[in-house]
Amino acid sequence: MESTVQQQSKSSWIPMAIVAGLFFILGFATWINGSLMPYLKQILQLTPFQASLILFSFYIAVTFTAIPSSWVIRKVGYKNGMALGMAGMMLAGLMFIPAAKTQIFPLFLLAQLVMGAGQTLLQTSVNPYVVRIGPEESAAARISIMGILNKTAGVVAPIVFAALISSGFSDTVGQELSQTQIDDMANSLVFPYLGMALFIGFLALLVKKSPLPELDSEDDEEGQESGRIKDVLAKPNLALGVVALFVYVAVEVIAGDTIGTYALSLGVENYAVMTSYTMVCMVLGYTLGIILIPRYISQPTALMVSAVLGVILTFLVAFGSNDSFVISNALLVPFGGAQLPDTLMFIAFLGLANAIVWPAVWPLALSGLGKLTSTGSALLIMGIAGGAFGPLFWGLASGTSIGQQGAYLVMLPCYIFILFYAVKGHKMTSWK
């Protein structure tokens, strides 16, 4: 299907520049959770399972807002859908203010839920632009460029969080907090989240007034949504792609957002910036994707390599030594970096294994959908719900005899399924 963007290829850099900015915002709002999770764990004295609910409430919003997001896009268009998604994110940022003032855990969870809903609408609107703006075989490279911006925001967000919020409380790690300390830590969230909300609201207005062209939309026929979903799910490459993205986001969020909590349990003072380590590795992975795909390596092959690397690193994380610092002594300490246990470095390296999965699965899953693209995109976005369940299972497993370190084994079946999709799943054209 020819889109307006494709017909105006000479000016395609304009929508790509706008979309790039949106990917950065998505990354910032998403990966700040990696610092927020251990921070609230301290303030509210949460168990690992309770702390995982912070991520669960953020990502579970995808489950019940992805399909409605597809309907909204067909009603108002992709461009207005982006603006509405950011408006929802702005509202969520404002909700953190009463949550911080009252220190009521359910209010934080509600704010996270609204943030996840706004992001779902924005994600469902923005991803098809990247896939459909050029040749399908190079879609992974374009998504990799967007991913670099998204994950660069993931590097920046924890650093900003640490600078604006947690920098004055690094000496509280491993200590029992007084009520005054708890109040101070909670109140430090107010102005940063207020600033983020106002900035996102300003960007929503800019997108609304921007020259971003509209993609061709499907004819909206009332009562046909179930038929569209049925037609889309009849394509195995899409249905299995949804599952692949579900398990991928599960391991991505485990690697990016639990590393800080695990570092806190090991007594690492700079736990609030640990997500940045994983994101740096993801940026490196996306860069390799741009260089290698499709010139030197195909999208399915890159996906297969990522899955195998994920399996290897999972075992190294679960069975590695927390008393060994070989990797950080070689890669970080000589350059003034922190001395970190090898297990934390292996978790960070998972970012390298995870980076190519998202950009490789999207074009493979959307291949051949035509006018069903928005519905297929919405279903793929639902795969982001894996981010709710991955950390939840990790939190549950952490409460057993295997502890937080052994709990990382929950990632193993996820990488095995991604390997299946890379080898066979994406090639399937029929369920028979």
42-56, 291-305, 344-358, 411-425: range with lowest mean pLDDT: 291-305
Supply the pLDDT for residue 413. 96
C-alpha distances (whole Å) from 208 to each of 77, 94, 195, 212, 403 are: 11, 21, 20, 9, 48
CA angle, 314 as apex, 56 and 62 as ends, to 5°?
20
Average pLDDT over residues 222-229: 59
The CA distance from 128 to 376, in Å, is 10
Contact predicate 174/267, CB 8 Å: yes
**In this model, does residue 364 exceed pLDDT 50?**
yes
Confidence class for position 147, pLDDT limits 50, 70, 90: confident
Q: How many CB atoms lie within 10 A of CB 352?
A: 22
**In this model, does residue 216 exceed pLDDT 90?**
no
The CA distance from 410 to 178, in Å, is 35
Supply the pLDDT for residue 222. 46
The values of phi and psi at residue 217, to 5°, are -110, 160
pLDDT tens digit string along 391-417? 999 999 998 999 999 999 999 999 999
pLDDT tens digit string along 317-344? 999 999 999 999 999 999 988 899 999 9
Supply the pLDDT for residue 238. 87
126-130, 133-137, 187-191: range with lowest mean pLDDT: 133-137
pLDDT tens digit string along 248-269? 999 999 999 999 999 988 988 8
Average pLDDT over residues 280-307: 86
Average pLDDT over residues 98-121: 94
The CA distance from 246 to 227, in Å, is 23
Q: How many CB atoms lie within 10 A of CB 116?
A: 29
Residue 133: both structure tokens together:
């703006």
Supply the pLDDT for residue 330. 95
Confidence class for position 5, pLDDT limits 50, 70, 90: very low
- Nearest-Å Rg of the Cα atoms of the chain is 21
Supply the pLDDT for residue 168. 65
67-71, 156-160, 258-262, 344-348: range with lowest mean pLDDT: 67-71
Read out DSSP for 178-194? Answer: PHHHHHHHHHTTHHHHH
Supply the pLDDT for residue 396. 93
The CA distance from 376 to 362, in Å, is 10
> Within its chain, how far is the Cα of 237 from the centroid?
22
DSSP state letter for 164: I
Confidence class for position 94, pLDDT limits 50, 70, 90: very high
Average pLDDT over residues 150-172: 80
Supply the pLDDT for residue 231. 77
Structural domains for the chain: 7-211+224-427 (1.20.1250.20)
Supply the pLDDT for residue 149. 83
110-124, 170-184, 307-321: range with lowest mean pLDDT: 170-184
Helix axes 48-59, 236-257, angle to 10 degrees: 140
Of 156, 77, 154, 151, nearest in space to 121 by CA: 77
Confidence class for position 381, pLDDT limits 50, 70, 90: confident
Supply the pLDDT for residue 287. 84
Of 15, 337, 281, nearest in space to 155 by CA: 281
